[in-house]
Structure 1
Amino acid sequence: MNLVSRYIIRQMAVMAVYALLAFLALYSFFEIINEAGNLGRGGYNAWTMTQYVLLQMPARAYELMPLGVLIGGLIALSQLAAGSELTVMKASGLSTKKLLLILSQFGLIFAVATAALGEWVAPSLSQRAENLKASAIHGKISTGASGLWLKEQNNIINVREMLPDHTLLGIKIWQHNDRYELVEAAEADSAVLNADGSWQLENVRRSALSDNQVSVSEQAQLQWPVALKSSLLDVLLVNPDQMSVSELTAYITHLENNRQQTQTYAIAWWRKLMYPVAAWVMALVAFAFTPQNTRHGNMGLKLFGGICLGLAFHFAGRLFGFTSQLYGIPPFLAGILPTAIFALLAVYLIRRQEKR
């Protein structure tokens, strides 16, 4: 990598980081406003809210990375063009092909950062944030490798997981008396939530303890009265956008084995797979919208158009996801179309720009 390459990449990277930090600050501000309504609920205070917002930042950075690359690249290249530095570089022998190679290296750096955030950092921290919030608001709740633990009156309940249709799997219930002595233990393969708040347990095995014996019984179905809100269990239902590719792969296989709908998670899988590529594509889009000749006074207009295009890409993924579910479009198309469309647009604009 020569001096010119390092200079261009450094200028674009700095501007991309600045743009990303600005968007993170804006998103954090709106998130604080949104979370302010929960202050005072249970143990949810200002410090807990701050922790929640900070833990969500890597996920926000992951979502905004392509937009930051585009806007940072646009600003940096526009500054180079305004100072005639691009013109001097081209006059010194820097061809468009070499410049695109430099931009590809810049995009690759942020593509790797995007993949690392989405696969290892953001999912675990987002889950910790949701657990922290749920524990503070509702109390007596914890999650881990064994699922969700709840305490309700004299019952200690463990739920291993919850499917997208809110079916509970792996239910274990321990009931104690007022002296905290175990009086009954129950285990069920699954459960569904009734409208009255009770749980309809399936394939139940119960062990009732008395002074002298343990009575064991089995029932195909059992209605268990539980005074818990169903929203409390939503902490088990992880948002697909907060899952890594490996977690989505395992979960899609699990849902298929249980004959559950997988389209939402399949769309998220394809989006996760293509999102690092989108960061690379945005570096090319930035070049396509950079004015090569500043004498025509179109720099501000092209910069504004590029920013609008980046915002359109940011929301296009969600739009394509909803459209796919609504009209039955294959998940891989919903996942790759936004990135593919913007890649083709960048190639078209660059070729058009070079013909002038």
Structure 2
Amino acid sequence: MKIVDRYITQTVLSGTLIVLFILVGLFTFFSFIDELDDIGKQRYGLQQVIQYEVLKIPQQIYDLFPSAVLLGSLLGLGILANHNELTVMRAAGLSILRIVIAVLKIGLLLTLLAMLIGEILAPLSQQYAYHNRAVAQSEHENQQIVFNNRYGFWARDGNDFINITTIFPAGGFGGIALYQFDDQQNLQTVTYARTAYYQNGQWLLKQVEKNHLQANQITREYLENTTWNAILKPELIKIVVIDPHQLSSLELYKYIQYLKHNEQQTAQYEFAFWTRLTYPLTAITMLILAIPFIFGSLRNVSVGQRTLVGALIGVGFHMLNQAAGNIGLVYGINSIFSALFPPLLFFVAALFLTQRVIF
């Protein structure tokens, strides 16, 4: 029976990898076509576009894996069903439950691999892709301008507000304006710095102009450098340049804690965070959904028809997931519930349909 288990595993694995390769290829191609419009912006040429798209592939794999595992399982098991191999296996004494367990084993392994890609490789490659793209499109080769409007990036740190206009490739920041208020929200100090670097848990501001606002006068002083203690770290600033759905769970958690500390809205990021945590449930649900379509009422239809049904299910799940997230944000529904509702609903439906087939 171990030989049969390996055969089922190889079939599901090959089907999933084929579908994943096709889906990633299609989405990468469409993204490449869209990116061609930016060719010619400063030093952003065809080579940079190709590099940018290649670096985005790990994120594409992570995003498309649940759909790929559904379609791949339908493809692989569907071929076995059409060739009557599943019938022979069952006639030889292999139960449907045993087949399901064999499919789940490879599904769990692939899900773990996809999660490692999404949590470790994808965020790094995605941020590196955006970094290189911004550098290539900036006016100066040694400077990365990451903000698309003249107001730059604004952040709050307790009673302090900071404005940053540029990010340097080496990790520093330029065009810093720091506004410090007291507990009564009265502006106390306005500090301008040409550059800033984060060292030993504090900001080192260089070429500083510091303005002290008092009741009857403004005192100005010029400093070669000064320090500013804050919980705001460079990685938190760089996080907001990337879509929150493309960050690792740990990065999202850190940013949520920062927003909570400053009493800012966190619903959008909490939904993204819990969506990432429910990723294994989503992937396994898509895998289980393939079982009733192979052994149930669709067992006599063609592979193409099964694939179409699988695609419709995948699209339906995606639409429900997006709708749950948007409704939750608009009406203030708990982020955990909004993120868990679609996968749990499909999971219960998958278990119900599967148990009818098995038992």
Q: TM-score interval w.r.t. the shorter chain?
A: 0.7 to 0.9
Match of 1:49 in 2: 49
- CA offsets 1:284-306 (integer angstroms, 9 cap, x no match): 11112214588854665444212
Matches of 2:299 and 2:255, distance apart in 1: 55
Matches of 2:161 and 2:192, distance apart in 1: 18
Matches of 1:277 and 1:329, distance apart in 2: 21
Q: What TM-score, normalized to structure 1? A: 0.75
Match of 2:68 in 1: 68
Matches of 2:297 and 2:193, distance apart in 1: 81
Query: Where in structure 2 are the equivalents of 1:156-305 lying within 5 Å?
Result: 162=155, 169=162, 188=178, 203-205=189-191, 217-219=210-212, 236-291=240-295, 296-297=300-301, 300-305=304-309
Q: Which runs of 5+ in 2 are unaligned?
A: 147-151, 167-174, 182-186, 195-206, 219-236
Matches of 1:202 and 1:311, distance apart in 2: 54
- The question of whether the paired residues in 1 share the 8 Å contact of 2:274 and 2:336 is answered with yes
2:269 maps to a residue whose letter is Y
Matches of 1:9 and 1:19, distance apart in 2: 15
TM-superposed CA distance for 1:253, in Å, is 0.6
- CA offsets 1:210-240 (integer angstroms, 9 cap, x no match): xxxx997433599xxxxxxxxxx99853211
> Which portions of structure 1, spanning 4 or more consecutive aligned residues, are displaced by more than 6 angstroms?
none
Q: What TM-score, normalized to structure 2? A: 0.75
Aligned length: 305
- CA offsets 1:95-120 (integer angstroms, 9 cap, x no match): 12222211221210121012101110
Match of 1:178 in 2: none
| Cα distance change, pair 169–190 in 1 and its aligned pair in 2 (3 A) | farther
Matches of 1:202 and 1:290, distance apart in 2: 70
- The question of whether the paired residues in 2 share the 8 Å contact of 1:313 and 1:338 is answered with yes
Matches of 1:96 and 1:190, distance apart in 2: 67
TM-superposed CA distance for 1:187, in Å, is 5.8
Matches of 1:202 and 1:98, distance apart in 2: 71
TM-superposed CA distance for 1:259, in Å, is 0.8
Match of 2:119 in 1: 119
Match of 2:352 among 337, 342, 348: 348
| Cα distance change, pair 315–36 in 1 and its aligned pair in 2 (3 A) | farther
Query: Where in structure 2 are the equivalents of 1:314-353 lying within 5 Å?
Result: 314-353=318-357
- The question of whether the paired residues in 1 share the 8 Å contact of 2:38 and 2:44 is answered with yes
| Cα distance change, pair 300–22 in 1 and its aligned pair in 2 (3 A) | closer
| Cα distance change, pair 207–320 in 1 and its aligned pair in 2 (3 A) | closer
| RMSD over equivalenced CA pairs, Å | 3.4
TM-superposed CA distance for 1:335, in Å, is 1.2
Q: Which runs of 5+ in 1 are unaligned?
A: 151-158, 174-184, 192-200, 209-213, 223-232
TM-superposed CA distance for 1:345, in Å, is 1.4
Match of 1:180 in 2: none
Matches of 2:208 and 2:34, distance apart in 1: 51
Matches of 2:239 and 2:33, distance apart in 1: 22
- The question of whether the paired residues in 2 share the 8 Å contact of 1:324 and 1:331 is answered with yes
1:203 maps to a residue whose letter is T
- The question of whether the paired residues in 2 share the 8 Å contact of 1:131 and 1:235 is answered with no
Matches of 2:165 and 2:25, distance apart in 1: 43
Match of 2:139 in 1: 139
Matches of 2:73 and 2:208, distance apart in 1: 71
1:80 maps to a residue whose letter is L
Match of 2:32 in 1: 32
- The question of whether the paired residues in 1 share the 8 Å contact of 2:39 and 2:46 is answered with yes
| Cα distance change, pair 287–206 in 1 and its aligned pair in 2 (3 A) | closer
- The question of whether the paired residues in 2 share the 8 Å contact of 1:114 and 1:275 is answered with no
1:242 maps to a residue whose letter is Q
